[in-house]
Amino acid sequence: WLRPALQAIVNVAKGIEEQSLKTIDQILYDELPDAAHDKICALSGPSHAEEVAREVPTTVVIAGKDEELLIKLQEVFSNHYFRTYRSTDIIGVEIGGAVKNIIAIAAGIVSGLGFGDNTMGALLTRGIVEISRFGQKMNAQAETFLGLSGIGDLITTAISPNSRNRFVGFEIGKGKSLAEVQASMQMIAEGVASTRSVHQLAQKLGIEMPIVAQVYHILYEDKDPQLAMRDLMLRELKAEFA
């Protein structure tokens, strides 16, 4: 069992648990003693591990409740190739890291279908709108999703050839089933499970997330990706920021 005086608990995993529909920090709050709650932090942002290992310049955000602890952790993690910013919006940082994986799957599908830059630009822009809408419903700060753990992580995950989530979407866009794609992978694409949990939570809370919903229909109901794209394009017309 963890000592109450433990200096810090830094979570680097991303996702929402399917059974409880909770973020990882919420699960840690439930499982750890009250004395440890202010020590719970999340590290997230546009950071592929293989690039960090090669000392490629990388910038992330570390979030938690204790500002003094965050400053200390910034000093611990930062060096000439790895820079950290701090945030007290831990729920926003967690949600950005979890939901962007779903949008990255959608980005892979778009690429697999052979669509171009216009489509990708629209997808990423409307994707961050959905992430922000979801996060604010969970009491996150809107500005968090314009930062490293939001749009920054989304861009990196959605366009990188090293992204497992993008790979899943790309192969599905090319015509493979989810089962076929997963059987070919040695590692887990976190966005697959997150799609189901986020879709369920969005429905429960009444949050409009059309891109997430279409990814869910493709992954779990075998909907044709072309039809999913058509349905997105033919949705009711509205103001951009309504």
For 64-120, give the DSSP string: ES-HHHHHHHHHHH--SSEEEEEES-HHHHHHHHHHHHHHHHHHHHHHHTT--HHHH
**Contact at 8 Å (CB) between 125 and 103?**
no
Architecture of domain 9-90: 3-Layer(aba) Sandwich (3.40)
- The whole-model pTM stands at 0.93
Backbone angles phi, psi at 148, to 5 degrees: -65, -40
| pLDDT one-digit tens code per residue, 197-210 | 999 999 999 999 99
Dihedral of the CA atoms 111, 125, 205, 21 (nearest 10)?
50
| pLDDT one-digit tens code per residue, 147-161 | 999 999 999 999 998
Q: Give CA–CA dist 141/139, Å, rounded.
A: 7
DSSP 8-class letter at 192: H
| pLDDT one-digit tens code per residue, 112-128 | 999 999 999 999 999 99
Please give the structure tokens belonging to residue 181: 């794609």
What mean pLDDT value characterizes the chain? Answer: 94
Q: Give CA–CA dist 145/89, Å, rounded.
A: 10
State yes or no: pLDDT of 1 exceeds 50. Answer: no
For residue 46, what pLDDT is reported?
A: 96
Domain coordinates in residue numbering, the chain: 9-90, 91-233
13 C-beta neighbours (distance < 10 Å), count:
12
State yes or no: pLDDT of 76 exceeds 70. Answer: yes
Spelled out in words, what is the top-level CATH class assigned to the domain 91-233? mainly alpha
Write down the catalytic residue from 39, 65, 72, 100: 100
For residue 33, what pLDDT is reported?
A: 84
By mean pLDDT, which of 69-73, 103-107, 128-132, 185-189 is the weakest?
185-189
Share of residues in the chain with pLDDT > 90 (%) = 83
Q: Give CA–CA dist 59/85, Å, rounded.
A: 8
Place of tokens 């229909």: 217
State yes or no: pLDDT of 6 exceeds 80. Answer: no
State yes or no: pLDDT of 5 exceeds 60. Answer: no
For residue 34, what pLDDT is reported?
A: 86
Q: Based on the residue annotation, tell me whether 100 is a catalytic residue of this protein.
A: yes
